[in-house]
Amino acid sequence: MKPFDYVRPATVTEAVAAAAQPGAVFLAGGTNLLDLMKGGVSRPDRLVDVTRLDGLDGIENLADGSLRIGALVRNADLAHDADFARSYPAVAEALLSGASAQLRNAATVGGNLLQRTRCAYFYDTASRCNKRAPGSGCDALHGENRGHAVLGWSESCIATHPSDFCVPLVALDAIVEIEGRGGRREVALDELHRLPGDAPERESVLEPGDLIVAVRLPPAARGFAAHARYLKVRERTSYAFAVVSAAAALRIENGRIAQARLALGGVAAKPWRARAAEDVLKGVAPTADAFQKVARRALEGAKPSGDNASKIELARRIVVRALTLAAAGTPARIPALPASPFASTSGALHV
């Protein structure tokens, strides 16, 4: 591992200043960063430890009905918070479907948003990867790419974003609060991550020194609690990243869909909000035919980036399944196998 400096700032302002220096990165849970450093994929000059900053580890109900989640809240603590799981069940289910219990105990909300792709060529320093080494090429384009992107990819990069947590957050219009050298600003989570284009090394809109301090769910997000699910297809049921996933949230009135939210994971370099597909559902009855139509709309524009044409059909089917389960109603318990298509409804109580 490359030698590095380690600093532990006392305030957010000090943290931003320290991380604005070239070669500096933030350290929180470290569940992704330390692996990258040990493998030589990430070689920072300075680690800025933010784990002891005050005010970033709380879950707060705001006066306007929104929920503010500090960036240092641990994934496990958030998923197991009874009020959170009851109000945002799809988000809790997504959190519990990711990684292992040990990693969820360490990983943070802010770090989850910014975790790096799990593309094998990105992790292999002997391979060409424009994300790791800009301008070097993309060996994934003509390599083993069955799990790579089918939406928003470019000739420079076909990697996917690995987060489960981000998918229902994007569907529910989450906002990211950022502290930077110019002060505090807010960015919609849907706009935080960038598609690769010809600069895949720029993965987000964050600038040097920018620190995510919180994620906020708007008041309207609670209105989907009765009909919200997250579903994830993976190579194995435990400890695996999504091949494809979908978050579906519905508000049903008088037997028809008044509002719909839909997002996909594992299909692009960012969590993919299917807004055009949501519009198809407004005012219609929640039927199998309607969900099939929505699934086709959600994957419009999708194309293989290699040997992954089957992923497009798989994504359509997971959209239909997620919408069907959401329409049936949020179960009283989070499934014992969270987000699995094979799960029974027994598990932890939402309430």
Segment holding 104, helix H or strand E = helix 101-106
Q: Do residues 267 and 311 share a domain?
A: yes
Q: Do residues 79 and 212 share a domain?
A: yes
Segment holding 349, helix H or strand E = strand 347-349
CB-based burial label for 21 (10 Å; 0-12, 13-18, 19+): middle
Q: What is the CATH classification number for the domain harbouring 71?
A: 3.30.465.10
Q: Do residues 43 and 6 share a domain?
A: yes
Q: How many CB atoms lie within 10 A of CB 252?
A: 18
For 190, the domain range is 59-102+164-220
pLDDT of residue 336: 85
> Does 347 have pLDDT greater than 70?
no
CA distances 79 to 173, 289, 322, Å, are: 18, 33, 20
**Tens digit of each residue's pLDDT (9 = 90 or more) over 63-95:** 999 999 999 999 999 999 999 999 999 999 999
* Strands 228-234 and 333-335, bridge-based pairing: unpaired
Residue 3 has phi, psi (to 5 degrees) of -60, 145
Is the pTM higher than 0.75?
A: yes
Q: Do residues 205 and 313 share a domain?
A: no
Q: Do residues 175 and 302 share a domain?
A: no
Number of domains the chain contains: 3
- Residue 97 domain flag: yes
- Residue 158 domain flag: no
pLDDT of residue 187: 98
> Does 349 have pLDDT greater than 60?
no
**Tens digit of each residue's pLDDT (9 = 90 or more) over 302-331:** 999 999 999 999 999 999 999 999 999 999
Q: What is the rounded CA–CA span in Å between residue 222 and residue 319?
A: 21
Q: Do residues 46 and 191 share a domain?
A: no
Examine the fold and report which residue of 14, 30, 53 is the final residue of a domain before the chain moves on: 53
Own/partner contacts of 119-128, CB < 8 Å, gap of 24 or more, are: 119/148, 119/158, 119/159, 119/160, 120/144, 122/41, 122/159, 123/36, 123/39, 123/41, 125/39, 125/40, 125/41
Residue 206 has phi, psi (to 5 degrees) of -70, 145
Q: What is the rounded CA–CA span in Å between residue 224 and residue 335?
A: 18
Output Rg (C-alpha) for the chain, integer angstroms: 20
- Residue 173 domain flag: yes
Q: Do residues 211 and 330 share a domain?
A: no
Question: 264 near 319, Cβ under 8 Å?
Answer: yes
Q: Do residues 297 and 173 share a domain?
A: no
**Tens digit of each residue's pLDDT (9 = 90 or more) over 150-189:** 999 999 999 999 999 999 999 999 999 999 999 999 999 9
Structure tokens at 88: 């945002």
- 3-state secondary structure (DSSP) of residue 245: strand
> Does 346 have pLDDT greater than 90?
no
Name the percent of the chain lying above pLDDT 90: 94
Structure tokens at 18: 């320290």
Examine the fold and report which residue of 200, 220, 240 is the final residue of a domain before the chain moves on: 220
Q: Do residues 210 and 74 share a domain?
A: yes
Report residue 345's pLDDT band, with 50, 70 and 90 as the boundaries.
low
Of residues 92, 43, 50, the one with CA closest to residue 67: 92
Q: Do residues 212 and 87 share a domain?
A: yes
Q: What is the rounded CA–CA span in Å between residue 304 and residue 308?
A: 5
pLDDT of residue 238: 81
Average pLDDT, the chain: 96
Among 119-123, 191-195, 234-238, the minimum mean pLDDT is found in 234-238
Q: Do residues 67 and 189 share a domain?
A: yes
Q: Do residues 73 and 203 share a domain?
A: yes
Q: What is the CATH classification number for the domain harbouring 48?
A: 3.30.43.10
Question: 232 near 97, Cβ under 8 Å?
Answer: yes
Residue 303 has phi, psi (to 5 degrees) of -150, 150
